[in-house]
Amino acid sequence: MTHVATLISNPARPALDDAVIAAARTVLPGAGEPRWLDPGIAADILFTPGGADDKGVTERLRSALRDFPLDAVVQPLASRRKRLLVADMDSTMIGQECIDELADYAGLKAHVAAITERAMRGEIEFEPALRERVALLKGLPLAVVDEVIGKRITLSPGARTLIATMRRNGALTCLVSGGFTLFTGRVAAMVGFDQHRGNTLIVENDKLAGRVAEPILGREAKLATLIELRERLGIPAQDTLAAGDGANDLAMLEAAGLGVAYRAKPKVAEAAHARIDHGDLTALLYLQGYSRAEFVEPVS
pLDDT tens digit at each of 300 positions of the chain:
799 999 999 999 999 999 999 999 999 999 999 999 999 999 999 999 877 788 889 999 999 999 999 999 999 999 999 999 999 999 999 999 999 999 999 999 999 999 999 999 999 999 999 999 999 999 999 999 999 999 999 999 999 999 999 999 999 999 999 999 999 999 999 999 999 999 999 999 999 999 999 999 999 999 999 999 999 999 999 999 999 999 999 999 999 999 999 999 999 999 999 999 999 999 999 999 999 999 999 876
pLDDT at 248: 95
The CA-based dihedral angle spanning residues 226, 230, 235, 237, taken in that order and rounded to the nearest 10 degrees: 20
Query: Considering 38, 44, 71, 88, which one is annotated as catalytic?
Result: 88
Question: What's the pLDDT score for residue 50?
Answer: 78
Query: d(Cα 209, Cα 198) in Å, to the nearest integer?
Result: 17
Catalytic entry in 44, 90, 100, 239: 90
Task: Report how far apart, in Å, the C-alpha atoms of 22 and of each of 13, 19, 28, 100, 287 are.
Answer: 20, 5, 10, 44, 20
pLDDT of residue 72: 97
The answer to whether 93 and 156 are in contact (CB under 8 A) is yes
- In this prediction, residue 52 carries a pLDDT of 74
Longest distance between any two alpha carbons in the chain, whole Å = 66
Judging by DSSP bridges, how do beta strands 172-180 and 274-276 pair with one another?
Answer: unpaired
The pLDDT assigned to 13 comes to 96
The whole-number pLDDT of residue 1 equals: 78
Is residue 18 flagged as an active site residue? Answer: no
> 234: which residues sit within 8 A by CB, 6+ positions away?
none
pLDDT value, residue 55: 86
130 CB-side CA count, 13 A = 25
Domains and CATH numbers, the chain: 1-78 (3.30.70.260)
Residues forming beta bridges with residue 203, ordered by sequence position = 208
> What is the pLDDT at residue 53?
84
**What DSSP assignment string belongs to 232-257?**
HHT--GGGEEEEE-SGGGHHHHHHSS
Is 277 a residue of the active site? no
Total count of residues recorded for the chain: 300
Q: 199 near 181, Cβ under 8 Å?
A: yes
Q: What residues have CB less than 8 Å from 189, skipping those under 6 apart?
A: none
* Phi and psi, residue 120, nearest 5°: -70, -25
Residues sharing a CB contact under 8 Å with residue 126, sequence separation 6 or more, in sequence order: 119, 178, 216, 218, 219, 247, 248
Give the per-residue pLDDT at 49: 87
Beta bridge partners of 36: 43
Cα–Cα dist 262/268, whole Å = 9
Q: Write down the pLDDT at residue 266.
A: 94
